[in-house]
Each structure stands twice: as C-alpha cells, then as structure tokens.
Amino acid sequence: MIKWLLAWRYFFKRPISILAVVAVALCVFIVLVVMTVMNGLLRDFKQKNHDYAGDCIIASDSLVGFGYYEDFMDILREQPYIEAVSPMAKGVGLIHLKQYKWDNGIEIHGIDPLLHSQVTNFANTLHYQKQTPGNAFSPQYAPQLDGCVTGIDVIPLGRRNSDGTYSFHDKPMQMELVISVFPLNMKGGLLRSLDLVSTKSFFYSDDSHSGLVRVDGAVAYIPLEQAQILCGMDSPIKRISSLHIKFTDGTSFSYSKVAKVKFLWDEFVVQNADKPGSELFANVRVQSWQENRRSIIAPMEKEQIMMTMLFLMLGVITVFIVFVVLYMTISHKSKDIGILKSMGAPMSSILGIFLLFAIFIALIGSLIGSVSGWIFLYKVNDLEDWLYAHHGWQLWDRTVYAIGDIPNQVEPEVLAIIVGSAVFACMIGALIPGLQAARKKPVQSLQVNQL
C-alpha cells in the first residue's frame, strides 16, 4: 500500500510530472487520430473493392478469356453455399463521344446487369436505374437503343463539384458513344486485319459510381453479348474473362469456400480437357476477392504501415521525457529512498514505486489524449466543412481524391493498443532511473550532500 501512496504523492507533488503527462497525451492524441483516419480509409477502400468484385473470382490472366463458362455456371448454381454467379467479358478499346468530338482509351466490361447486381454492388453504384438495375442498358430517352453505363468520371462533363459531390440532370443526357475494339482470336492474335476493327454505337444510359478511381475513370459497361461480339469472344466458342461469385452467408472471405470452388474448377478442367479451346484454362485462376484485388490494395496497406510507424516513433520522445522526469524526481528524493532502504524495503519495492509513478503518468496522459482525440475526430468533418466554407481549405482535395467524409470511427481495439503502448513506453522510460534508485545503499542516499 505504501508504494501506491508514495507514487501518488510524488506524482502530485512534482510539477515536472505535468510535462510527462502532456507528452503522453500529445502522443496518444496524434497516434489515435492518424491511425483512426488511416484505418478508416483502408477499411472503406477494401469494402469498395469487395463490393466491386464479389466474394470469389474465377478470372483469366489474358484478354482472350476462356470458354464453356455456361456449363460451369450450372455446376456452381447447384452448390448450396453459392448464392449467385455473374459472367464478365473484358476488353480494351477507344470510346468516342460524337457530340463533343472527344475520345479516350477505355476498358470495356460486358455484364448482365441483373446478375452482376446480385453478386456485386453494381446496382447501388447507378444513379438513374438504382432501383431497376435490369434496365441499366435501356436509355430513358430511347429504351429501344443499345445503352451504355459509363464510370462517373469517364466522360468529362464537369459535373464533379469542389466538395466531391456530383451534379446530375433529372434524366440522362442523350449522347452517342462509339466504342471501337480490336477483337482477338483464341490464340491472342487479331481476329481481323488492322483496318477492320469492331465498332458499335451505344447511347449513354447511366453512371456508375463505385468510389474506385481506376474504375470510375476508365470503365464502360455494356451488355455481355455485345462485349463478346466486339472483343471477338463470340466465336468459335463463347468466351468470357471472369466469373464473379457471391457466397450465401455474405461472408467477405472464406478459405474453405474458395477452396471448394477451386476444387470444382479443377475437376471441370479435367473433364473438358479434350474439348477445343481447353488450352485457355491454363490461364485461369480461382481467387478470393482479396487475392484478386491485391495489386490495388497492397500499396495503400503499405502507406498505412509507413504512416503508423512514423507516428509511433513519437513513443521514443515519450520514453525520453519520462526518463528525464524520473531521473530528476529520484535525484530530489534521495532522502526518501534512503529511509525506505534503511527500514528494510527491498529493491523490488523501490523499483515498484517509480514504475507506478510512470504508470500514473501513462494512464492520466492516455486519458487526456484519448478524450481529446475522440472529441477532435467527432468534430473533424464539421471542422473541415467550416474551414472549406470560410477559407477554401480541405484536408483532401475532393476534386482529385475519391474520398467522402473523413473516417472518424474510433475502434476500441486500436485505442487499447495505443494506451497499452503508452503504458509500456512510460515503464521503459522509468526502468533505468528506477533500477538506479533501487540499487542505492542507505549510506549513499543519506549522505549530507544528498539531503
């Protein structure tokens, strides 16, 4: 009990301990804010990629694709753990907007909008046909025409506002989009001569806003059958680029279910090994959505790790400040230490007093830093809105970055790790001065020049 009382008394009687508390509070505040924002951005980014891809993807590494997908879709639909399957045909080409004499490179995604909405979040990315995704390729101004859904940033119409929102008309504008593709044969060569490309006119029917910059600025969605024709995947056998799968329980990742799908695919490949075009199966991979989108997610994960490590280095400052505070405290408490040692107090008790002193610093500093960080995060979006309204300043320029509100949801496990790290850092800072005090002999502590 005496250890707790002495540690508490030293904490309140030494004004210099306020410096250590402020240092701990500042470090906890900064790390909590940075980790909360970075974790939120990464979590939202992963969720957007999951919504875009589905739970499991069977995809070809080449633009040629693979065939006999309809037979395998029938097999997948028979499995109780699979809710829906959506085929996709991909290609690259040029898109030309006659109305504005504008053209650009484009990635073409051929899909069945209804099936794709069952597997992914495609329906919720639409603006005009969100409630009726089956009509996504039917322009409201002319349902009989072939429609095309573009990524929201594909066509440069200047609709993106400075705050990151978009302006829309009551109905989609009537625009003719000419898509041109060099179709490939099953061996990867040009299906036709260089002067004969596959070209077809589509009419703008809706926007897709997935929140992924690389998708929203470079993808146009058209009907699956039309994409197969344009990309040369309609003959001699129908081909696609990928199959997107959704599991029944809605789990984002399941090793067992992905393994089951892979086992079914391997069996299917063996059973169809003697069919024409079976050599294309060699380029097909069965992956979870994390594995499929790894090249997109990994850079952001590395940025999060680097930012976290940089700010965790602030803990070194905390260790140093606590070390200085404890060293100064011990130098002024030689008499107390000598009296305790002369009364038979063991080394562990002396060390325990100063470790408890460091723990008080850590806990009170962490409490102040955590509460301050939580209040700041709670108000951070209101603060940014005020700064933008009065001074035109944003943390992230919404005309460049696809970010909505700044993530501000504090995760209890992250907060626990930060507080635990603060306590550990303070104890490390107190360890050397505490050991020095514990090793002092009574005769040394009670010397006249030490009193």
Count: domains in the chain: 2
CA–CA separation, 184 and 389 (whole Å):
52
Within a domain: residue 256? no
Same-domain pairing of 92 and 194:
yes
**pLDDT score for 252:** 47
Residue ranges making up the domain that contains 144: 56-250
| pLDDT at 115 exceeding the cut of 50 | yes
Same-domain pairing of 96 and 194:
yes
Within a domain: residue 268? no
- Of the candidate ranges 55-59, 293-297, 353-357, 373-377, the one whose mean pLDDT is the lowest: 353-357
Same-domain pairing of 41 and 61:
no
Residue 212 in tokens: 């992924």
Last residue of a domain, one of 209, 231, 250: 250
Same-domain pairing of 129 and 223:
yes
Same-domain pairing of 351 and 306:
yes
Same-domain pairing of 39 and 63:
no
Secondary structure class of 49 (helix, strand, coil): helix
CA–CA separation, 11 and 330 (whole Å):
12
**pLDDT score for 407:** 85
- Quick one: average pLDDT of 206-225? 91
Same-domain pairing of 85 and 200:
yes
| pLDDT at 122 exceeding the cut of 80 | yes
- Quick one: average pLDDT of 430-444? 64
Q: Of 9-18, 322-331, 339-348, which has the strongest mean pLDDT? A: 322-331
- Quick one: average pLDDT of 105-130? 93
CA–CA separation, 209 and 199 (whole Å):
26
Same-domain pairing of 227 and 350:
no
The three-state DSSP-derived secondary structure of 335-361 is: HHHHHHHHCCCCHHHHHHHHHHHHHHH
**Position 348 confidence tier, pLDDT thresholds 50, 70, 90:** low
Query: For the segment 369-427, what is each residue's pLDDT rounded down to a tens digit?
Result: 999 999 999 988 888 888 877 877 777 766 566 677 788 888 889 899 888 888 888 88
- Quick one: average pLDDT of 275-304? 89
According to DSSP, the residues that pair with 200 across neighbouring strands are: 179
Same-domain pairing of 190 and 87:
yes
Same-domain pairing of 322 and 430:
yes
Same-domain pairing of 124 and 202:
yes
Which amino acid type is present at position 105? Answer: G
Q: Of 211-215, 308-312, 447-451, which has the strongest mean pLDDT? A: 211-215
- Single pTM value for the model: 0.81
Last residue of a domain, one of 219, 250, 281: 250
Same-domain pairing of 99 and 39:
no
